Structure 1
Amino acid sequence: MPGDTCDVVVLLSGSGSNLQALIDSSAAPGSKVRVRAVIANRADAYGLQRAEAAGIATAVLDHKGFDGRDAFDAALMALIDGFAPQLVVLAGFMRILSGGFVRHYQGRLLNIHPSLLPLYKGLHTHQRALDAGDAEHGCSVHFVTEELDGGPLVVQAVIAVEPDDTAQSLAQRVHRQEHQIYPLAVRWFAEGRLRLGEEGALLDGQPLPASGHLIRP
């Protein structure tokens, strides 16, 4: 892919702060990333306004209008494929995707999760880290597989948990790291440096460790 633009479709359900980080990053000189479209399953998702402000195509596909997950996912795949992206990015898309969807985009579907995977898959990650007395917390970018929050890790940002942290303060600091590492992973993919191999994630042709590339800000 070096030399070419990498078209990206972003899926979201909410405010779209990670989308904004991707938009800002893609505006940098020499960026190969082009956010081609933003698709939401909620018409009131603020991320749609962020996309429109940046001149990016938007679409809404309300899951409530479909008879089950498979029907929704089939329509979503058709909508995404109409934009012919090289990469699909989940940015707070609050839907569990079917196996057929995940297999269709195998190797070109990334997600970000607010914990140091494999710890705390699912929801309420910041409170769970506090309840466990963890000294460190953070966020993870990973390739999506059929295992929920379980695909090969690409990059993790690790921050210290402070004695006076609350779930809210921890979330704010983790969000700042998300906005650094997600554009980084997308840039690696767009530059042809990152790909999914049979054994896991590869960066510059070399297998990444099980924890992914670690960043300690």
Structure 2
Amino acid sequence: MFNQFFETIKRFVPLSTDDQAAITAAFRVCQLRKKETLLLQGSMCMSASYIVKGLLRVYHADPQDNQFVLKFATENEWAVDLGSFFNQQAAIVTIEAVEATKVLYTDHRSLLALFGQVPAFERYVRLIQQQALVDMQQRLLSVMRQTADQRYLQFIMTYPALVQRLPQKQIASYLGISPEFLSKLRGQMSRGATRHAMPFLAQA
């Protein structure tokens, strides 16, 4: 389990044996059941979680309880409300297990202490935060520039494995369309009716 974590980190920065020992001491294991909540919107985000196995969805709910999925987090990715975790303010998202999920998690104080002990880990966190910002920027551009069918095609090309793991309703929420419209798009795709969308994907 920790070996998997270390291999993920070492894609970005080198780690010594002492570094690995310090990281192991700073993290704990948590097993989530399907539909169990890791973080509830409005509460304080007390931990940052690395996903060993499983799938989480990160979503915001409006006053009418309409849910808007911001992202899906799967193996070797992180799930956290950054504003709440680092600034100690109320979380603006809920994080829920789509399927049984195992995570390694650490709290704010332990993470800051780890940054002091293992500078390489702080650099790793900074690098993945930068990538998260790039990904969010690309997602915003996708919502603004692409049609619904283009966004769906982009999703299945970028995350082919997730299509089989996610309920259609949650994919629709991520794409910003209704489940009924997504069903219609899937039907059109099966008949080859969305081929015209393919040339536009490279422009997103």
TM-score bin, normalised by smaller chain: under 0.3
TM-score (norm 2): 0.24
Q: Which structure's residues are more often helix, by fraction?
A: 2
Between structure 1 and structure 2, the one with the greater Rg is 2
TM-score (norm 1): 0.23
Q: Which structure's residues are more often strand, by fraction?
A: 1
